Structure 1
Amino acid sequence: MTTPWVPRASCTDDCMHAGMAPLGRRPVVALRVLLRTMLALALLPAMPLLAVPLPGRSHLQRGYCRLMLRALGVRITVSGGPIRNLRGVLVVSGHISWVDIFSIGAVMPGSFVAKAELISWPAFGVLARLMKVIPIERSNLRRLPDVVQTVAARLRTGRTVVAFPEGTTWCGLGYGEFRPAMFQAAIDAGRPVQPLRLTYHHRDGRASTVPAYIGDDTLLASLRRLVVARRTVVHVQVESLQLPGTDRRDLAARCQSAVRHTRVRHCGADHALAA
């Protein structure tokens, strides 16, 4: 059953086909899948190390996420402004896939706000618990203030928290608007917000929907698309740090403007940023 406050992407199967690319010869694809699967499985036993409070744990987390991306056939590039060594920063980004967790973790690791179902996923659910993911039930609006309070509390203690203000995943060719609720946590804690722009590409630079996780997609189907594909490149653009101010709608609009360059593109149509 749908609820009116739950964000829904307008992405369809046509979006997925538009961002695909040829896989190559069958023997090459089979070898590619075998190697990537073996590498990813070899990294899984090391996940508990991410929860150990060792000096330099953030460096360990970044390194692990980069290795996992590489194992899955994803290369990462980073550009834009410097990543400031600040405590208690709310990191926000558009949301395309579960791969975003590793992509952001490779740059600015922290606690993620993610849908509650993630906790029950095999392997990834373990990683989610180890990394102290803050679960959110998108269909239960009454629990949203508790999630915002939890995020604010972690920001006050100097923890980095990552949230996806669109509230749902999009294909990567279209995007949704940033919802203001989660930005209230930064205002309550008096902490800055770091917008990141994530885009996925094929080797030739074309936009890719291979990592997308939308609609009725399953984790297994999404994983399969990723490991059979040729190299995927995720580009992380570090935008200007935003001070919290006092108005969450203004803060959401500023961060959306930084990430989307003042426009939100829905699949099938472009819409100017709402006032």
Structure 2
Amino acid sequence: MTTAVHAGLTAAGTSRAEGTAGLLHRVARLLAAVLVVLAGTPLALVASRAHPARRAGITRVWARTLLRALGVKVHVTAPPAVVPPVAGAGGGGALVVANHVSWLYPLVIANALRAGHTVAAFPEGTTWCGRGMGRFRPAVFQAAVDAAAEVRPVTLRYREGGKPSTRACFVGDDSLLASALRVASTRDLVAEVTILAPIRHS
């Protein structure tokens, strides 16, 4: 499954030679990512004692820094009528639901959304390669119903050189290390986040 997915990337129009970063770039990205991850422990201790809004800010900065270290760019779009949640706005929480392709998604969502109490969930229950998606399990939404919180649908996809990419996918027997190496080796990987209109219930 994993091999077929990655091999299909060439058929989509992005060859390995075109999309692969040089050796020095790969090593630099991996070292930077390791340093950011190691810095996360003391930051977590500081954040645990901070105000929720400040804690969210620290998490956002850490996630953004790790994405940059890996060479991943994030593009966020939303329809004109949709306003992304802002910390403290409305005083309520939100359940963010998204399709799930990669272990990068929690980092991307922390970088793209700001809310006082936001919980992210992936109702598919598993990861997909990015060329398709699974059925959303309704049980995941019960927490939002019980808490009277709005649901924020978000779609995420990866592009490489302007074309769909599966290099960030994390499926089958793929290991986290192999996936991280593939991400760090990709020259122009962009995570596209589309924020859709919130779903409210009475």
Scaled by the length of structure 2, what TM-score is found?
A: 0.84
What is the rounded CA distance, in whole Å, between the counterparts of 2:103 and 2:72 in structure 1? 13
Q: Which residue of 2 aligns with 1:93?
A: 98
Q: Which residue of 2 aligns with 1:64?
A: 62
What is the rounded CA distance, in whole Å, between the counterparts of 1:225 and 1:109 in structure 2? 29
Is the counterpart of residue 184 in structure 1 residue 133 in structure 2? no
Three-state SS of the structure 2 residue aligned to 1:182 is: helix
Three-state SS of the structure 2 residue aligned to 1:240 is: coil
2:66 alignment partner AA:
M
Number of aligned residue pairs: give it.
186
Report if aligned partners of 1:61, 1:109 keep a CA contact under 8 Å in 2.
no
Alpha-carbon distance change, 174 to 28 in structure 1, aligned in 2, over 3 angstroms: closer
- Measure how far apart 1:28 and its partner are: 5.6
Alpha-carbon distance change, 109 to 211 in structure 1, aligned in 2, over 3 angstroms: farther
Is the counterpart of residue 213 in structure 1 residue 170 in structure 2? yes
Three-state SS of the structure 2 residue aligned to 1:67 is: helix
Q: 2:31 aligns with which of 38, 45, 51?
A: 38
Report if aligned partners of 1:89, 1:192 keep a CA contact under 8 Å in 2.
yes
- Measure how far apart 1:105 and its partner are: 1.2
What is the rounded CA distance, in whole Å, between the counterparts of 2:145 and 2:83 in structure 1? 23
What is the rounded CA distance, in whole Å, between the counterparts of 1:45 and 1:78 in structure 2? 27
Q: Which residue of 1 aligns with 2:48?
A: 52
Q: Which residue of 1 aligns with 2:156?
A: 198
Q: Which residue of 2 aligns with 1:106?
A: 111
2:108 alignment partner AA:
S
What is the rounded CA distance, in whole Å, between the counterparts of 2:21 and 2:156 in structure 1? 29
What is the rounded CA distance, in whole Å, between the counterparts of 1:197 and 1:78 in structure 2? 10
What is the rounded CA distance, in whole Å, between the counterparts of 2:186 and 2:15 in structure 1? 8
Q: Which runs of 5 or more residues in structure 2 are unaligned?
A: none
What is the rounded CA distance, in whole Å, between the counterparts of 2:17 and 2:2 in structure 1? 25
Q: Which moved more, 1:13-22 or 1:71-80?
A: 13-22
What is the rounded CA distance, in whole Å, between the counterparts of 1:109 and 1:162 in structure 2? 12
Cα RMSD after superposing both structures:
2.1
Q: Which residue of 2 aligns with 1:243?
A: 200
Q: Which residue of 1 aligns with 2:124?
A: 166
Q: 1:18 aligns with which of 8, 12, 15?
A: 8
1:71 alignment partner AA:
A
Q: Which runs of 5 or more residues in structure 1 are unaligned?
A: 1-10, 111-157, 246-275
Q: CA offsets per residue over residues 165-186 of structure 1, 9 Å max, x none?
A: 0110000111111110110111
Alpha-carbon distance change, 185 to 64 in structure 1, aligned in 2, over 3 angstroms: same
